[in-house]
Chain A
Amino acid sequence: SAVISQKPSRDICQRGTSLTIQCQVDSQVTMMFWYRQQPGQSLTLIATANQGSEATYESGFVIDKFPISRPNLTFSTLTVSNMSPEDSSIYLCSVQEHHTEAFFGQGTRLTVV
């Protein structure tokens, strides 16, 4: 299993600002992912964080809005840029080895005002 520390757990931000979310894993993992969960909905994959190269974004998500870093096999960050109220959501990082269960951080509850 993997233990994931994600922070901040919650934040209230002004529109137009940016927030960086950090995800630290207690072991080296191949696959790290970032998800968004909007109120009352299920999880949507934002991107796959690739170690040493640019992240792979899903349809509807772009690097300028959600820049991601993955400097090593235990750490990643997601930045939500130029925020608007529509970005209010829970953001979760996840780790997974090939075709095994995924483990999730506790999530970051973001409110944009």
Chain B
Amino acid sequence: GQNIDQPTEMTATEGAIVQINCTYQTSGFNGLFWYQQHAGEAPTFLSYNVLDGLEEKGRFSSFLSRSKGYSYLLLKELQMKDSASYLCVLTGTASKLTFGTGTRLQVTL
């Protein structure tokens, strides 16, 4: 089976940097995604890690350590529009996705 743990809520200030952590246990690992979901909307893809290390894409970076069962999403230069839920998602066998409960990020002035 798979188990994903991430904080429920976080608050950060506009212009700051925030790190959202995700720890997981899984019997079959084929990659880890981060998705962003604004209230009332479908999730949208942010990043994909399958090998250890850091993937950078603009203001967003994602890190993976497979041996530690750990990932984080780093958001820089926070903007108000970054207020959303951030979902840590495991992909296992047959491309099935398992979603974490999500971290609701509130960006304040």
Docked pose: A101 CA to B45 CA in angstroms: 7
Asked if A45 and B101 sit within 8 Å, CB to CB, the answer is no
Interface size counted on chain B using CB atoms at 8 A = 22
Asked if B33 and A98 sit within 8 Å, CB to CB, the answer is no
Q: Which of A14-22, A62-70, A74-82, A104-112 makes up part of the contact surface?
A: A104-112
State the Cβ distance, B105 to closest chain A Cβ, in Å.
14
B31 at the interface (CB under 8 A from A): yes
Asked if A99 and B102 sit within 8 Å, CB to CB, the answer is no
Asked if A42 and B99 sit within 8 Å, CB to CB, the answer is yes
List B68-108 residues whose CB lies under 8 Å from chain A: 87, 91, 94-102
CB contact between A43 and one of B44, B91, B99 (< 8 Å): that residue: B99
Residue among B30, B42, B87, B95 with the highest chain A CB neighbour number at 10 A: B42
Nearest B residue to A6 by beta-carbon distance? B42
List B21-59 residues whose CB lies under 8 Å from chain A: 30-31, 33, 40-45, 48, 50
Chain A residues within an 8 Å CB radius of B40:
109
Nearest A residue to B44 by beta-carbon distance? A104
For the complex with contacts A43-B97, A102-B33, 17 further pairs of A-B residues with Cβ separation under 8 Å are A31-B95, A41-B101, A42-B99, A42-B101, A42-B102, A45-B96, A45-B97, A97-B95, A99-B50, A100-B48, A101-B48, A102-B45, A103-B45, A104-B42, A104-B43, A107-B42, A109-B40
List the 8 shortest-distance A-B pairs measured between CB atoms, nearest first. Answer: A104-B42, A101-B45, A42-B99, A43-B99, A42-B101, A42-B102, A98-B95, A106-B42
- Which residues of B approach A to under 8 Å, CB–CB? 30-31, 33, 40-45, 48, 50, 87, 91, 94-102
- Which residues of A approach B to under 8 Å, CB–CB? 31, 33, 41-45, 48, 92, 94, 96-107, 109
